[in-house]
Chains A and B, each alone.
Chain A
Amino acid sequence: MRNVLAVAGKEMRAYFHSPIAYLVMTVYTLLCGYFFYSFTAVYVVQGFRMQAMGGSGAPPMSLNEMVMRPMLEGILTVVLLLLVPLLTMRLYAEEKRSGTIELLLTSPLTDLEIILGKFLGALGLYAILVALTFGYFSMLYVFGTPNAKPLLAYALGFFLFGGALLALGMWFSTFTKNQIIAGSISLAAFLLLYVLDWGTAYSTGKWAQTLSSLALTPHFDNFAKGVIDLGDVIYYLSVIGLGIFFTARSVEALKGRP
């Protein structure tokens, strides 16, 4: 366990020694802020309109439904598809390029310890993004009264979704010494997985539904509604497990080559 933490610590330090972490956090915060502003503005305008029409008969608008959920479900999942590759691309690619992989693989660490350490390190940085998002959400509590109960679902879903992307991205990073290529492969793969869901827009047949259940984003819907569905949890944990498994296999293959 201490080896895992040692590697995780190294990865986190490495993130902050390079501009990438700051770039990702800045871009994320800006986008987050823009959408937060947009949705909140819509909420406020709607509120005025309803008041003007004397709408006491209408159900109260929910900040959860009108701001938090669309932010999470509609926007951030897409944003993460684009930003996570920037975080994961260096995990193995850089080690291969600079030769430091020889240090890791000749030290008394198991491959799994290295993989988990890297995953945790990336997850640690991701946690900062989650915290930033919830920073925005917390502002809603200052000015309004959104429901606090779904917050756990939001957080869990967000972490699981991110974890799945990070695990896959880490796997892709083992393919090459070139970070850019690793990042591009991740991006392409994530977009492909995202697009699998689009089938349902055109048909509700068996195929469309199956593809949709494999896609990453639909499993987040329940979390965004505040519901923790076991099936969704298992889905994301499986993807994380697969990502780690394939990373391990890839590292083994690495040792067969000079």
Chain B
Amino acid sequence: MIEVQNLTKRYGPTLAVSDVSFAVQKGEILGFLGPNGAGKTTTMRVITGFLPPTEGKVQVAGFDVVDEPLEAKRRTGYLPETPPVYPDMRVDEYLAFVARIKGLPRREIRQRLDEVTEKCAIGDVRRRQIGKLSRGYRQRVGLAQALIHNPEVLVLDEPTAGLDPKQIIETRELIKNLAGQHTVVLSTHILPEAAKTCQRVVVINEGKVVAVGAPEELTRRLLGYGTVLVTVEGPAAEVLDKIQRVSGVNWVEPRESSDRHVTYEIHSEKGQDVRPELARAVVESQWKLLELKTSGLSLEDIFLKLTTKDLSEEVVSSQ
């Protein structure tokens, strides 16, 4: 549904996006992850036709955004980071205006307005001036305008930014329900949200794609090992030795120490749970076992790993 091929965008001397390629299948929800300034917004602006690409090709619903912009835009709904609302207009006036410029036939406007107002829960503020609305409502009006012409493709830039937890959950549900009928690309910093809402994720850093895949797949790829943290109070050298002898342990490194106890990070063979053995080993030696837990790589860790310069090379080479 969306095809981005070798997209490069330059602003004068600055290279914002460099040779980015990915595709979004029909009905899929794709997450766009990356730190600030990575090029997420720029990429989205090219997809929606706001900016022309410097190099490369972008197709939406089969239409090239440069050659056939009107057709592509007709099929796209876009919610930028700041909802593009006119503060002096009323909500219903505004949505009617958007419907018109998106090419919705006159007689359909009324009905679509009702539908979208209900879907985005803005019925209460329908006749209020947008400038007087709270951030949460404004965001929902923004989402409504993206949906009003029932586009095949939705591009959402940080759709839950600035919303309170309840609203975030509601918006997340709304977006998940859109999958299938619509193809969605959303960008976010909220990593658990990407994991919960998106089927696939593209990680972008400094204008380049660093990883593409389902969140679980990425975790698996990065984790060649399982990680366990154990805190033991006992003679340091002996403890270290004992732990290293536990079967399945590949690598031990002391992490923190205070007083007489030390926390060790242990990397074990993938799939092998060394915790029972480890606990037994510590207790048998009559040392004090203070803490024992598994430490998985969360999406945050993946994100950080992929977007910290030196480590991303390490990741790539470990494939």
Contacts and interface: CB of A to CB of B under 8 A. Distances in A.
Contacts of B45: 102
Contacts of B78: 102-103, 106
A6 B101 contact: yes
Interface string B64-103: 0000011101101010101111111100010001101111
Contact of B11 (A14, A110, A258): A258
Contacts of B80: 99, 102
B50 A102 contact: yes
B84 A103 contact: yes
B49 A18 contact: no
B183 interface: no
Contacts of B83: 99
A258 B50 contact: no
Given A108-B74, A255-B52, A99 B84 contact: yes
B85 A104 contact: no
A184 B48 CA distance: 33
Interface string B98-114: 10111100000000000
A108 B72 CA distance: 8
Q: Which of B45, B83, B86 has the most CB of A within 10 A?
A: B86
B43 interface: no
A98 B48 CA distance: 18
A256 B74 CA distance: 22
Size category, A interface: 20 to 34
B50 A13 contact: no
Contacts of A18: 88
Contacts of B88: 14, 17-18
Contacts of A98: 82, 84-87
A2 B101 CA distance: 8
A79 interface: no
Interface in A202-226: none
Contacts of B82: 98-99
Contact of A103 (B51, B52, B98, B103): B98
B78 to A, nearest CB: 5
B50 A255 contact: yes
B187 interface: no
Contacts of B50: 102, 105-106, 255
Contacts of A106: 48-50, 73, 76, 78
Contact of A257 (B11, B89, B101): B11
The binding surface of chain A is classed by DSSP as helix
A255 B51 CA distance: 5
A158 B101 CA distance: 31
Between A3, A102, A103, the greatest number of chain B beta carbons within 10 A of the residue's beta carbon is seen for A103
Contacts of B76: 106
Interface string A245-258: 00000000001111
Nearest to A107: B101
Nearest to B54: A256
Contacts of B48: 102, 106
A100 B85 contact: yes
A56 B43 CA distance: 81
A258 B16 contact: yes
A3 B86 contact: no
A58 B89 CA distance: 60
B97 A108 contact: no
A6 B98 CA distance: 9
Interface string A93-120: 0000011111111111110000000000
Contact of B101 (A99, A102, A108, A255): A108
Nearest to B69: A108
Interface of B: 11, 16, 42, 45, 48-52, 69-71, 73-74, 76, 78, 80, 82-89, 93, 97-98, 100-103, 145
Interface of A: 2-3, 6-7, 9-10, 13-14, 17-18, 98-110, 255-258
Q: Which 8 A-B pairs have the closest CB atoms?
A: A103-B84, A17-B88, A108-B74, A6-B100, A106-B48, A108-B73, A108-B70, A100-B84
16 contacts: A2-B100, A13-B89, A17-B88, A98-B86, A100-B85, A100-B86, A102-B78, A102-B84, A103-B78, A103-B145, A106-B48, A106-B50, A107-B98, A108-B101, A257-B11, A258-B42
